[in-house]
Structure 1
Amino acid sequence: MVLPKHMRLKGHRCFDFIYREGERFYSPSMVLRVTKANTKLQVRGINSNLSPSIKCAISISNKVSKRSVIRNKLRRLFHHHLSCRLSKIECVNEVWAFISLKPSCIKNSNRDLLKECDKLLIKAGITK
């Protein structure tokens, strides 16, 4: 299961905005950036009639692994995890979140990475 299209965040303008304006939350293996959505930036392919939600993006650098197969497996793992966690949450304002994995994350198991992700989501006030 992949993150539904209405929950995915795309486009370099959105990412630039999150890097500039987003609040950062750190853990040993990843960084979570969270900000309120910028309504002036148009996110392609997203129906504006939907209720406010949390839109996410995941960045996995070549420094994490040179093999694209491993990076794509991690990306799919996080997309599935986030879709399960965030689809049940009711939001008042639209929120954009961006997760960047650090090169040291490859040493951890998938279970540990997802636990770390959950802790960051709680720290950011997105989940409980």
Structure 2
Amino acid sequence: MVLPASMRLRGHRCFDHLHRRGKRYYGTWMVLRKAPSNAKLLRRDIHGLLTQTQPHSCRIAVVISGKVHKRAVVRNRLRRLLHDHLRLRFEARSTHSDVWLLISLRPGADADEANLLEECDRLLEEAGLQP
């Protein structure tokens, strides 16, 4: 299952903010970027109003390059796997930090799913986002 809309991060301004201001945490298979949220950068909806968010909510984006795997089916499966894992991690927490996350998989990261999820948890703990 994918992340709920209230937890998704979209729009080039948000990604630019994460790339410029985000603190990086490196793993073997992925890179985690963490930055404080900035509601002014959120993408506007059809009516021109800012997307309504819950106060102190965590927003997450997962980026999987074509260099990770040639086939889109495999990349989408990895994206769904990470979305579901992150959704379970952050919905289970009673207090959400006001932070944005960007997870980028490195080329060749189509390894064992258990290893990817283990590394994701390790990077979240390193970033101070695991209980």
In the alignment, is the contact (CA less than 8 A) between 1:60 and 1:100 conserved in 2?
Answer: yes
What aligned pairs does 1:1-128 form with structure 2 within 5 A after superposition? Answer: 1-44=1-44, 46-48=51-53, 50-89=54-93, 90-91=95-96, 93-106=97-110, 108-128=111-131
Deviates more, 1:34-43 or 1:61-70: 34-43
Identity of aligned residues (%): 47
Displacement, 1:87? 1.2
Gapped regions of structure 1 (runs ≥ 5): none
Q: Deviations over 1:61-103 (max 9, x none)?
A: 0000110000000000000000000112213x52100000001
Task: Name the SS for the 2:3 alignment partner.
Answer: coil
CA distance in 2, matches of 1:58, 1:96: 11
The residue identity in structure 2 corresponding to 1:123 is E
TM-fit CA distance, 1:127: 1.0
Aligned residues: 125
CA deviations on 1:38-77 (whole Å, 9 max, x unpaired) are 13212445323x2311100000000001100000000000
Is the 8 Å Cα contact of residues 13 and 42 (structure 2) preserved in structure 1? no
TM-score w.r.t. the length of structure 2 is: 0.90
TM-score, length-scaled by structure 1:
0.92
Which amino acid letter does the alignment assign opposite residue 34 of structure 2? V
Consecutive unaligned residues in structure 2, runs of 5 or more? 46-50
Following superposition, the deviation at residue 123 of structure 1 comes to: 0.3
In 2: Cα distance, 1:35 partner to 1:86 partner:
16
Secondary structure of 1:87's partner? Answer: helix
Contact (CA 8 Å) 1:121, 1:127: kept in 2 or not? Answer: yes
Q: Which amino acid is the alignment partner of residue 127 of structure 1?
A: Q
What is the RMSD of the two structures over their aligned residues, measured on CA atoms?
A: 1.3
Counterparts of 2:79 and 2:130 in 1: how far apart (Å)? 20
The question of whether the paired residues in 1 share the 8 Å contact of 2:10 and 2:42 is answered with no
For 2:52, the aligned partner's letter is N
Q: Secondary structure at the match of 2:108?
A: helix
CA distance in 2, matches of 1:75, 1:18: 19
